[in-house]
Structure formats: structure tokens, C-alpha cells
Amino acid sequence: MNLTKLKIKPSETEIHYGVQALNANKDTVFKSWDLQSPEFLSCLQSLKPYLLKVLDFGNEYGEGLTITGITLRQENPDGADMENYGLVISAVKNLGNSATPFCLNTPYIPPCRNENTNTIMDEDLAMEINKIIGFCERFVAGKERAQGELFGE
């Protein structure tokens, strides 16, 4: 799966990905009203330290902050590894004096091309992204839902 975007809302999951079809890449949008598994949500929340770091926020700002999605961009389509991906992390933060949350996005986090590139993209972040891609693939396949699987499938 060539994941390009993941958006999680309280009652909806939206996954954008590309599928190679003949000689072209077909963009696909998968929407589901099934809730995500706790493991899926936990994996997505593992991006919180990276968001805080790139936005130069202290750890205390992380309270009430929820990661709601990512947008991936493949810099070098010929390479299949995560070193070719850059991303934007999206989140919402609950505010004490407002009924609506504050929505925020990181600036684009480029891939680490060489030691002179100033980016927080590293092997640990790449592993987290790979885990999220795996959860997205399983969610599209009918797994990683909050309800769980029926009949042990």
C-alpha cells in the first residue's frame, strides 16, 4: 500500500492510498465508520513526541493533544524504503475555554537525504510510520477494528 493520507475522526476513518494498476497509479480513498482498534490509535499517538519536537513545544503541551492523521509524500518514487518519505502530522488540542479544539499541522518533515539535511526524520520515526502503514493495510482488509474479528478470522 502506498499510503498518502490517514485521517481519523471520532466516527470515521479515511485512508488515501495509491494502487499500481497497469501502467498508472490509481488513487483510492477508503472511508469507514468502524472505530479503530486501541492498538491502531495508540500507534498513531506515538507520533506525539515528534510533533512536539518539530513545533518546538514542551512536553506539557502534549496533554490534551491527539494525533488525528498524517500525510505522506514519496520524494523518490523509485525507492521503496521509508528514507524516501516526508510527512506532515495533524493533531487537535482540547482547549479549556473553548468548545472546539485547536487544529494544528506540522510543517512538512522532509526525509533524511544526508547528514546535512535538517530534519527530525530518523530510523525511529520511519519505523513508527511503517507500523502505521501496516495498521492502515489491515484496517482496509477488515482488521484492526474496535469490534475485533468474528469467528477468529
Average pLDDT, the chain: 86
Which among 124, 104, 102, 122 has a CA at the least distance from the CA of 113? 122
Q: What's the alpha-carbon Rg for the chain, to the nearest Å?
A: 16
**Span 65-87, pLDDT tens digits:** 999 999 999 876 555 555 578 99
Give the pLDDT of residue 148. Answer: 57
Which tens digit of pLDDT belongs to each residue from 21-80?
A: 788 778 999 999 998 999 999 999 999 999 999 999 999 999 999 999 999 998 765 555
Average pLDDT over residues 137-152: 76
C-alpha cell at 27: 488513487
Evaluate whether 124 touches 130 at the Cβ level (below 8 Å): no
Whether residue 7 has pLDDT greater than 80? yes
Closest by CA position to 142, among listed 18, 30, 38: 30
pTM of the complete model: 0.86
**pLDDT of amino acid 115:** 65
The mean-pLDDT minimum among 5-9, 41-45, 142-146 falls in 142-146
- Cell 510533533: give the residue: 51
Residue pair 32/39 in contact (Cβ under 8 Å)? The answer is no
